[in-house]
Amino acid sequence: MNKIMVLPGDGIGTEIIAESVKILKYLNESFNLDIEYGYDYVGGISIDKNGTPLTGETLDKCKNSKAVLLGAVGGPKWDSTDPDSPRPEEALMGLRKELGLFANLRPVKIYKPLVSASTLKKDVLEDVDVLVVRELTGGIYFGERKRIKEGGSTSAYDTMAYSDYEIKRIAELAFQTARSRNKKVTSVDKANILENSRLWREIVCSVHKKYRDIELNHMYVDNAAMQLIRNPGQFDTILTSNIFGDILSDEAAMISGSIGLLPSASLREDKFGMYEPIHGSAPDIQGQGKANPIATLLSLAMMFRYSFGMENIASKIECSVGKVLDNGNRTADIYTDGTKLVNTGEMGDLVLAELKKLSD
């Protein structure tokens, strides 16, 4: 039995997850995959129902599954500058930390028919195929933080720390993954300023000694941000820390044309994974049928690839998405003149129809 926890979350999370579940249900029934899936609340909706963004019970259900499929969390309803208010995003940090998901894989590929949806020039986009390998359970998002009120003024700090162990395991994964790609790793840091970045660079170099078939170069994060726009085709696998990976992968997302296209996998050593689109809950388009479900459908494909070792099913989903785009169908975020505008549900149905054709 393959158990999956489905956590739709907030905003467009419920809309895009519904499309993934359509596909999951079809695959499960047609290919006898023996998958059992259950739902639970997470994020803002969990604050409303349970007073906390992630309950111990939800976490236990995730721990007892093989994979988690997540929509997105957050929204203006739960935004507060009061440091004591529960925040939906704490659920993500809790899931990553408690489930030991130390590695985040974010592939950025250019679909040929979508070249015109990108804000970059066509010739810059040719052959872009980048994988961002982001460290996910360390660094500044998990370091000590505090707000201090002294006299009449207030200050706050966050700390960015990495251990040699944390750097080593993410570097190993990046080099191993690069082996099945173009064998090139760019390690991104800020070693000209930050001490933890200097340790990062040192450890990456020492791990590299085991992977001499892989080309390694180093880049400062400010330069990497610039190079991603100037010449994204120079990158194959980008290895970086939590905060730098967060920012660079959103930037890389825009290269592809829309944040609504990019999936992600958060993994630990034993293949357990949490799969989610890289975008947030997009409250500005919630309930309007404008959400692009493709990032979530491709996240489902990653789940089949990484947690279940079902490459065949993963490729079928990716192929179906490619076909639907080839046929000119577009949600609002990637719509251009001469293409066909479809809503969230229609996009899911079209991918399902292609999948059925492929499976005949």
Subset of 234-253 contacting ligand NAD (CB under 6 A): none
Q: 222 catalytic, yes or no?
A: yes
DSSP, collapsed to helix, strand or coil, labels residue 317 as: helix
DSSP string covering 27-69: HHHHTT--EEEEE---THHHHHHHSSSS-HHHHHHHHTSSEEE
Instruction: Please say which residue, 75 or 273, places its beta carbon nearer to ligand NAD.
Output: 75
250 alpha-carbon distance from chain centroid = 10
Subset of 50-109 contacting ligand NAD (CB under 6 A): 72-75, 89, 92
Which of 221, 232, 272 is closest to 254 using CA atoms?
Answer: 232
Q: Which of 284, 311, 327, 358 binds ligand NAD (CB under 6 A)?
A: 284
- Inter-residue contact 284 to 319 (CB < 8 Å): no
Piece of 47-55, 170-178, 212-220, 288-296 that binds ligand NAD (CB under 6 A): 288-296
Instruction: Please say which residue, 245 or 280, places its beta carbon nearer to ligand NAD.
Output: 280
Beta pairing class for 263-267 and 273-277: antiparallel
Instruction: Please say which residue, 70 or 203, places its beta carbon nearer to ligand NAD.
Output: 70
Instruction: Please say which residue, 113 or 216, places its beta carbon nearer to ligand NAD.
Output: 113
Piece of 135-143, 146-154, 221-229, 290-298 that binds ligand NAD (CB under 6 A): 290-298
Judged by CB under 6 A, the number of residues near ligand NAD is: 22
Q: 122 catalytic, yes or no?
A: no
Q: 190 catalytic, yes or no?
A: yes
Helices (H), 36-182: 44-50, 56-63, 90-98, 122-125, 164-179
Phi, psi (degrees; rounded to nearest 5) at 326? -55, -35
Q: 141 catalytic, yes or no?
A: yes
| DSSP letter (8 states) at residue 339 | S
Q: How far is CA 75 from CA 139, 275, 331, in A?
A: 25, 20, 22
Instruction: Please say which residue, 196 or 242, places its beta carbon nearer to ligand NAD.
Output: 242
Choosing from 190, 290, 306, 316, which is the catalytic residue? 190
CB of 66 to ligand NAD, least distance (A): 21
Rg (CA), the chain: 20
Q: Which of 257, 333, 347, 351 binds ligand NAD (CB under 6 A)?
A: 333
Q: 157 catalytic, yes or no?
A: no
Both tokens assigned to 153 = 């003024």
Q: Which residues are identified as catalytic?
A: 141, 190, 222, 246, 250
Residues that bind ligand NAD (CB under 6 A): 12, 16, 72-75, 89, 92, 259-260, 276, 279-285, 291-292, 295, 333
